[in-house]
Structure 1
Amino acid sequence: MKVAFFYRRLNQGGIQRMLINCAEYFASSGHDVSIILIEKVGEYLDTIDPRIKIIPFENRQKANLFRSFKKILLKEEFDVLFTASPPLNIFAVLCKLFINTKTKIVISENNNTVSLFNNNKLTASKLTFFGIPLVYRFADCIVAVSKGLSDNLSSLALIPKHKIKTIYNPAFSNNLLMHMHDEISHPWLTDKQVPVLINVARLANAKNQKMLVHAVARVLKTRQVKLLIVGEGPLRDMLQEEIDKLNLREYIDLVGFQLNPVSWIAKSDLFVLSSDYEGFGMVVVEALATGVTVVTTKCDYGPSEIVNDGEYGYLASVGDEEDLANKILYALKNPLQKENQMQRAKDFHVDTVMEKYHELFTSLAVS
C-alpha cells in the first residue's frame, strides 16, 4: 500500500509528532510511505526514519500550491493520503475534486475548531471554518482524535456522528521509552532541592502558561517548588516579563524547545497542563508513560478523556489559577501510582492505535 501524510512543515507540535508516529508505523510494516510538506523545514526533519520519503512542494507560493499538490498526486498515485488540520483538510479534499486521481483522502480533526474564534483577528484558519460544512463531507473518511472532538465536529460540519470515526492519537511509542532516560543537565533536575513541576507546550495563548505562572506564584506561598516550561512560541517574551514582574526568575525557567521532552518529564515530580483548549493532548500521554503524576485543566477536548475524568490525573477548572494551584498542592501531597499511570499510557501505544488506522487505510485502498 502506498500511503502519504500531508502537513505544512515538521516543526514542534503534537500533530507533527502524531504524523511521524503514523508514518513510521506504516514504514516499519513494509508499506511505501511518504510525507508531503509544503515547506521542507522543522526540528523533526532529522529524526525521520530513512525509509520514509520526504516530498516538498515544488513551489510554495499561494498561487502555485494547487499546481504543486496536483503534480505530486498524479506522479505518486498514492492509495491513501492523510492530513490533519482544517485548512489542509479542505485544501486536500478540494484538490481531489478537481484532479482525476483515485487517491483516497482521509482527513483528521485534531483541534477544537471553535477555538479559532477566541480572538477578533481575521485569519485564514477562521475563513477555513466556514468551509468545513461544505467540504468535509466529500472526504473519503473523517477521523477525530477524541470523543468530545468528534461530537463537536459533527455539529459544526453538519455530518452524522456515525460518519466520523474516533481514533485516539498514537502518542506512546517505543522511541518514547528509549529517550525517557536521556541525561538532562539542568541543575533543578540534577541536584533536586525541591519538587519540580514541568509544562511542555508551545508558548501560545491556547496553552495559557501565563495562568500557570500565576498559579505557581500562589503555590509558593505554601511550599517551595520549581517550574520548568519546555517549548518555544510567540509568547516567550511576554511570559518572561510576567515571571520577572512577579520576581519568580529563581523559581520558573523557560528552557526552550527540547527534541525529546519526555526525558525532562521523567525526571520531574509533577506534570502540569494549563491549556484553555486541546484537540487531544499527546503530551499528557507522554507524561503518563513516565509514571509521573499529572495535573491538567479539564479543557475541551482530549485531556480529561486521557486521564479518564480524574482516574489517572487531577483535573482543574479552565482558566482558574486558584483551582490549578490547589490541585498542584494536592497532587504533590497525593502522587498517583506510577504503575497505573504507565499502564494507562499503553492504551495510546502506536501499535494499538495504528491497528485501527491500518484497517481503515486498507479498506479504503481496496474499495
Structure 2
Amino acid sequence: MDFSVVHLDLGKEYRGGQRQVFYLLSSQLERGIKVALAARKNSFLLLKVQEELPQVPVLALGGGEFNWLSAFKLASWIKKNNCTFLHTHEARAVGLSFWVKKLYPQIRLIHTRRVSYPFRNWWSKKKYTLAEAWVGVSKEICAYLKQQGLPASRIFSIPSALELKRYPLRQKELSSPVILGIIGALSSQKGHELVLPYLKHLPFAYRLLIVGEGELRPRLEAQVRLLGLEEQVRFLGFRESNKILPKLDVLLVPSKDGEGSSGTIKEAWASKVPVIASDLRANLELIEPGVNGLIFKLSQPETLVEELVKLIEDDDLYFRLTQTGFKEVLNFQVDKMEAKYFQLYTYLLAEG
C-alpha cells in the first residue's frame, strides 16, 4: 500500500517527544515508507535528521501555531508532493496543522498526544477537532480525549518506545554513598521541590544527581542551599540519559502531573536500574509495585524515604526489580511502536 507521511514537530529542544519522532522516522524508512519532516528552523530535531537521516526530505518552518506563512508553506509543500498523512507530535504542531487542513482539506491528520494535562482553553481543544485519528501514549490520555467528546472509535493507544541498544546495562555493586538520580526537565510538574526536603531523613549516605535544564533550576539550587544539601545534591545540566543511568543505583520519578508514558522509567528498565515513581495514573500504567518498580504517594511524599530504605536494605527486592523491569521494556521497543502506527495508517487508508 503506497502512502507518504509528513511528521510535524515545532519544538526547539530535543526532549522525549522529539526523540520519538526521530525513532519513528528511522523505523518507517526501514519499512520503505515515504517520510518527511517539517520542523522548526534550526531546531535540534531538524538538524539531527539532516545529519543522520539525509535521505529524509525536511521543511524548515517558523515557530508558533499562528504563523500563517508557515501554514501556507507547509500546505503548498504537502499538495505539491501529494502527501497522504500529516502526523503531529506536540501542541504547537497541532495548532499549525489546523490551518494547514483548512488550506488543504485532502490531507489526513493524525495527532499524537504525549501529555496528560487538561486542555487549557477553547482553542487548545478546538485545534484537535479536524483530525481523522488521535493517538494517546497512555490509557489516561486516551480516556481524557474521549471525555472531551472526540470519537472513541478514532482514539488509539500507542505507547512511546525506546531503542534498547542505546542503553548500556548497569554493571556495578551498590555504591557507597548510594547514587540516586532524577532525569528530566527542571519544571514544576517533575516534582523535584516536593521530594528534596525528605531526602534529609535518609538513614544512609547518598548523592543525588539532578539531570536536566529548565526554568526551575535557580529555585531548586536555592532550595538545596536552604536545606543544607550542597554536598549531597549535584546539578549536572542536560546530559543524555544513556550516559547517566548506568552510574545510578536508583532512579527517582517524582512527577506531580502531566506525564504521558514515562520514557525515563523505560530507559531505567533498559539499563537495569530500579525505579521509584510517584503514584500518578500514568506511572501506575507502567509500574506494578514490588514487581517492576516501587511507588510512593504524592499525598505523602515522606513515603519516598520508606520505599528507598526498603529497596536499599533488601538485596532480593533490588535484584528482582531490575530483572523484571528489563523484561518489561522488551514490550516497548521501536519496531513494536512503528508496527502499531503502520496498522493505524493502513486502517485509515482502507476506509477510503
TM-score by length of 2: 0.88
Give the drift of 1:208.
Answer: 1.5
Which of 151, 154, 179 aligns to 1:163? It is 154
Say if 2:170 and 2:272, in contact at 8 Å, map to a contact too. no
Instruction: Quote the residue 1:99 is aligned against.
Output: 103
Deviations 1:256-289 (A, max 9, x none): 111x212311221101101011111111111111
Alignment of 1:198-347 (within 5 A): 198-219=181-202, 222-258=203-239, 260-277=240-257, 278-300=259-281, 302-308=282-288, 311-318=291-298, 320-334=300-314, 335-337=318-320, 338-347=322-331
Give the drift of 1:227.
Answer: 0.7
Instruction: Quote the residue 1:122 is aligned against.
Output: none
One-letter amino acid matched to 2:166: L
Unaligned runs of 5+ in 1: 117-125, 184-188
Alignment of 1:8-19 (within 5 A): 8-19=10-21
Are residues 336 and 93 of structure 1, via their aligned partners in 2, closer, same or farther at CA, if it must alter by over 3 Å?
farther
Instruction: Quote the residue 1:136 is aligned against.
Output: 128
Deviations 1:288-317 (A, max 9, x none): 1111110000114x2211114553111111
Instruction: Quote the residue 2:346 is aligned against.
Output: 362
Distance 1:206 1:310 in 2: 25
Distance 1:280 1:104 in 2: 25
User: Which moved further from structure 2: 325-334 or 137-146?
Assistant: 325-334
Say if 1:83 and 1:108, in contact at 8 Å, map to a contact too. yes
Say if 1:10 and 1:16, in contact at 8 Å, map to a contact too. no
Say if 2:176 and 2:205, in contact at 8 Å, map to a contact too. no
Distance 1:284 1:134 in 2: 32
| Partner-residue secondary structure (3-state), 1:131 | helix
Give the drift of 1:212.
Answer: 2.7
Deviations 1:160-203 (A, max 9, x none): 43331111112x214423xx2699xxxxx999531101111100
Give the drift of 1:38.
Answer: 2.7
Deviations 1:108-153 (A, max 9, x none): 1111122x6xxxxxxxxx34xx235545343111111111111122
Distance 1:52 1:105 in 2: 20
After superposition, the CA RMSD in angstroms is 2.7
> Percent identity among equivalent residues?
18
Distance 2:57 2:109 in 1: 19
Distance 1:49 1:192 in 2: 39
User: Which moved further from structure 2: 191-200 or 21-30?
Assistant: 191-200
Distance 1:63 1:268 in 2: 46
